[in-house]
Structures are given as C-alpha cells and as structure tokens.
Amino acid sequence: MFSKNVLVGLGCSHTQGCAFIKKIMSDDEDWEYELASPQLKQKYGREYVDQEFLTNVSWLGQLNKQLGFKQVLNFAGGGFGPQQNIDSIKSYVIDKDDLNNHLFIWQMPSFDRITLTYKINNDKVVLETFGNLISRNDSENNYECLDLLFDEIYQKMKLLEDVFLIQKLIQSMGGIIYFIFKPLCKYKFLTNENIDYYKNLFNDYDRVKNYKKYHKNISAEKYFEKLNILDVNNFTSLNHSGIGPKSWTLHGENLLKDDYHYSEHGNYLLAQSLYNELIQKDERLS
C-alpha cells in the first residue's frame, strides 16, 4: 500500500522559487535570502526568507497542501537544465534500497540548458549550460571547438533518453514519477527532421553490434511517448475568475517588474491543475 511519505520536486526556477529572491548562492541550508523587491517585502511582511518559504510559494508546496505528503524536498535548480536534476536524483538514491512511498514530480527545464564543461582563461574548468555559454561575451574562441565536437540535436536526444532511464530507475525502486513539460518547457527539437537525423547517426555505429535483436535503435520519439507526462497544456487558457494568465505572474501582480515567473497565486492555480490530473491518473494519490 502506498503511503504519502516523501514528495520530491525537480525543475528549474519555476519550481525552485528563486525568482522571489535576489540571489540563492549558498551552501548553508539555514541561510536566509532577501526578497527581490519592496513589493514582495510588503506583501509577505518580511525582508528575508528561507528555502522552506520558497518551496511553499512554489507550485510544489501548493500541490502538497492538497496531496498531504509528510515531507517535501525541492531539488530544483534555477538557471540549470535536466542534467542538474538527474545529478540530484542520482545523489539522492545512491544509498537508498528503495523509493517506496516517494512521489517525484519533474518540471522539465529547457533542453537548451545542456551541461558542458567550460575552461576559463585556459585554466579553471567550470560547468556551464550550452545556452549560457554561447551567450557569453568571451565565447567566440569556443565556437570552433563547439562546431567540431558538439552536436546540439544529438546531445538533446541523448538527454531525453537519460530522462527516460531515470523514470525506469525510480519505478524499479518502487517510486512514482510524473513529468510537467508544457506550458513551462517547450521541446521544439522533437521534430520529424531531427528524429530522423538522430536515428541516421547510428546507421554505421550499430553495425558493429552482435545480438542485434536485443538492442535495436529506438526512436527518440518513442522514449518521449513512454514518459509519464501530466497534461496541463490547457492551464494557461483557463479563465480563473475572469483573470488571465499574464496576471498570475510576479510582473502581472506588480510584485517584480518584468519577471514572468508565476506568483504564489499563479503557482496555486497550476497546482490545482496538477492535482486534478494526478488523482485522475493515479488512484494511489487520491
């Protein structure tokens, strides 16, 4: 029998809640962060907040108010992509024998945020996302290397396969996992042209294998179709009390200018859609 013990959330800034604060670079779990605007400070009656506050105002915290799990863990990382989420899951499960009574909800970050190593001044090596790397002012010297050694479509398709394998891992350990793609992540790379391109890359590569019937080249589209995706595509088209989705953001509520992350109210509405979808898909969660 499934018991609601641990709810784990993964994603980017839309899940972490870091848009509410000025900066979140700290190794100290007890660190407090300054809210990002005078309007947010006035709304919440405080200047500094902790990680629990960020989780509570996110869709993850709002969702758990309805699901009622005993513990909520927010492993999301603002500005990072799926690889950072995968690393968090691996770190969490490595010493566990099972994931019984765990529910993972993975808000998928942009696949443009592929993790790469980046060498600063030919010395220090750091991890950086592909999207951030090509937007850097000092990135011109890296274009030749990227052109020779990096294929964006290949990397995105392999990352999608890794996401599928993480789903299999969690399920094999007794956990439940669901994904959120739209409206927070657009996966435009999954076009027929790119799927065929990726498949054709393996034509010669696969010829060296024996026992071929056991390891066929699987279409990236098939991996995607096997993911447990929650359908909240109509979320932003819903008309909640006559208020449109642009008003559900920090900018729309005049809490933080030009920031279109969801406000606490917007996250509440998203959580409502997620909850309705979850209890329809999985009776263990009702």
Domain range summary for the chain, segments of one domain joined by +: 6-111+160-185+218-285
* Measured CA angle at 125 (ends 121, 129), to 5 deg: 105
Q: Is 6-111+160-185+218-285 assigned to CATH 3.40.50.1110? A: yes
Give the residue-averaged pLDDT of 46-68.
95
Question: Which two tokens mark 144?
Answer: 């030749």
In tens, the pLDDT along 133-173 reads 666 655 555 566 666 667 888 888 889 999 999 999 999 99
pLDDT band per the 50, 70, 90 thresholds, residue 243: very low
Stretch (H or E) spanning 197: helix 192-200
pLDDT at 48: 93
DSSP 8-class letter at 103: E
Residue at 39: amino acid letter = Q
Distance from the Cα of residue 9 to its chain's centroid: 8
Sign of the alpha-carbon dihedral angle for 52, 186, 119, 149: positive
pLDDT at 202: 76
- Cβ atoms of 102 and 176 closer than 8 Å: yes
State how far the alpha carbon of 269 is from the alpha carbons of 181, 218, 275, 277, in Å.
16, 37, 10, 13
Q: Is 90 exceeded by the pLDDT of residue 192?
A: no
